[in-house]
């Protein structure tokens, strides 16, 4: 099996030969200075927007200091939103009201929260998941539908709820270490294509054979 062309905006072809407009490779659909996304990462939406960057991360402005970094081979379901650091108000004063936002002379220098939001590789973000400022989501994580994520999420965990909590780990600790060493998401397209059967079958022994 071959991999889809990572340079296509619409990677899903319907049986009638037309493109499925509701699923895009984000690297081909987003041109935003604060949004970094790896190859093969896709987002799906039942009402696909014209501007995928502002749809997914509405508070990530071109002038924002923070970055939203998403790895390769991630899967982003309908309704997922990234609430990045530019959305936050200062909380160390007597009020949280953002007075500088309303003064053109002060607005450009006012950003009380500058933390990046980082999503690892091979992460599945379920329907309506909400990722809050500064979240750090590890590789191989599955985020359940409607979960609210605001902190560090360990590699290969399954997280659900509000606030998001680790329900269980996907694999045994020693197997997680093996997967982290393999970093299959950085392999060449031909290597990954040959390894698809092992990846889909949860066969780490066979997967290691494709690493050479």
For the segment 136-175, what is each residue's pLDDT rounded down to a tens digit? 999 999 999 999 999 999 999 999 999 999 999 999 999 9
Alpha-helical runs (H) found in 57-138: 104-107
Say if residue 115 is in the same domain as residue 197: no
Say if residue 126 is in the same domain as residue 187: no
Inter-residue contact 40 to 6 (CB < 8 Å):
yes
Say if residue 39 is in the same domain as residue 103: yes
Residues 14-20, mean pLDDT to the nearest whole number: 95
The CA distance from 139 to 182, in Å, is 12
Say if residue 187 is in the same domain as residue 202: yes
Out of 7, 32, 55, 89, the active site residue is 89
Question: Domain with 146 in it: what CATH number?
Answer: 2.160.10.10
Say if residue 137 is in the same domain as residue 69: yes
Name the domain count of the chain.
2
Mean pLDDT score of the chain: 96
The reply to whether 7 falls in a domain is no
Say if residue 113 is in the same domain as residue 182: no
How many residues are there in the chain?
212
Residues 67-77, mean pLDDT to the nearest whole number: 98
Say if residue 163 is in the same domain as residue 187: no
Residue 163: asked if its preceding bond is cis (omega within 30°), the reply is yes
| % pLDDT > 90, the chain | 97
The reply to whether 10 falls in a domain is no
Range of the domain at 148: 23-170
Say if residue 94 is in the same domain as residue 165: yes
The answer to whether residue 1 scores a pLDDT higher than 80 is no
Question: pLDDT confidence of 201, banded at 50, 70, 90?
Answer: very high
The CA distance from 5 to 108, in Å, is 40
Say if residue 69 is in the same domain as residue 164: yes
The reply to whether 87 falls in a domain is yes
Say if residue 209 is in the same domain as residue 160: no
Asked if 121 is an active-site residue, the reply is no
- With tokens 């979960």, the residue in question is 147
């Amino acid at each position: 099996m071959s991999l889809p062309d990572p340079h296509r905006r619409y990677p899903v072809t319907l049986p009638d030969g037309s493109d499925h407009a509701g699923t895009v490779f984000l690297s081909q659909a987003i041109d935003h200075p604060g949004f970094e996304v790896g190859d093969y990462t896709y987002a799906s939406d039942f009402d696909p927007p014209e501007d995928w960057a502002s749809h997914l991360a509405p508070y990530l402005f071109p002038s924002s200091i923070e970055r939203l970094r998403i790895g390769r081979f991630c899967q982003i379901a309908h309704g997922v939103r990234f609430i990045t650091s530019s959305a936050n108000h200062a909380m160390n004063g007597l009020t949280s009201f953002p007075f500088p936002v309303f003064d053109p002379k002060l607005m450009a220098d006012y950003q009380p929260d500058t933390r990046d939001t980082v999503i690892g590789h091979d992460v599945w973000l379920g329907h309506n998941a909400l990722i809050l400022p500064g979240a750090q989501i590890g590789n191989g994580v599955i985020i359940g539908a409607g979960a609210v994520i605001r902190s560090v999420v360990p590699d290969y965990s399954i997280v659900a709820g509000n606030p998001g909590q680790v329900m269980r780990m996907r694999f045994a600790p020693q197997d997680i270490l093996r997967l982290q060493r393999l970093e299959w998401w950085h392999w060449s397209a031909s290597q990954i294509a040959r390894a698809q059967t092992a990846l889909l079958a949860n066969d780490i022994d066979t997967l290691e054979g494709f690493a050479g």
